[in-house]
Amino acid sequence: MTKQHNSSQQEKQTQPTSQQYPHRRYRTIARVAAVQALFQSEQNNDDIEIVIQQFLKHRMQGAKSTNTLYEEGYILGADKNLFQHIARHAMQNKEGLLKEIRRVLPKTWSLERLDPVLRAIFLAASSEAKSSSIDVAVLINEYVDIAHSFFVGSEPQLVNGVLDALFHARRSQRHSEATVLESCVPQTIALEEKVFPQTKTEAG
């Protein structure tokens, strides 16, 4: 992975363009909106519920035509339920999610020094993967595409690597927990038989 660029060197777009999502992919647009909401919440120290309502009432309403997909601050055609779920779950579980993200970041990268949009992308992706059954490969592709809509440097490559490592670590942990659970089953049965021995009933 390449080292992080200084924020002054980054060529970041503040809004994706409508041409980047020509088919109005509702779920992708919802993910973009969730990233923006998480970014706004962190930057302004706003309560996420207030930010969600601002998006629903103002940025997701009032567009005069489908051509104003992202122009003038509007976000048209988003899956509103998915948007709310990602943003809300991410903030409710932020501490634990960031702890997981921190573990898989390269040593040359610091979570605190990451561009705040990158932090929002990691948080949204991590949240959605943990709270839904969607295939993680699909999620990685989605959030790498979203990173491309905000950055023109090496950031999408970082998103790909970090999310892949994060989801692999989760799979390994689930596998380990399942193995431990399976190994405990015979011991549990043996203990139950010792504490509650089977008794024979007398015939009539």
User: For 79-101, what is each residue's pLDDT tens digit?
Assistant: 999 999 999 999 999 999 999 99
Q: Quick one: CA dihedral 68, 39, 10, 153, positive or negative?
A: negative
Q: What is the pTM of this model?
A: 0.73
What fold characterizes domain 12-195?
N-utilizing Substance Protein B Homolog; Chain A (1.10.940)
User: For 153-185, what is each residue's pLDDT tens digit?
Assistant: 999 999 999 999 999 998 887 765 555 545 555
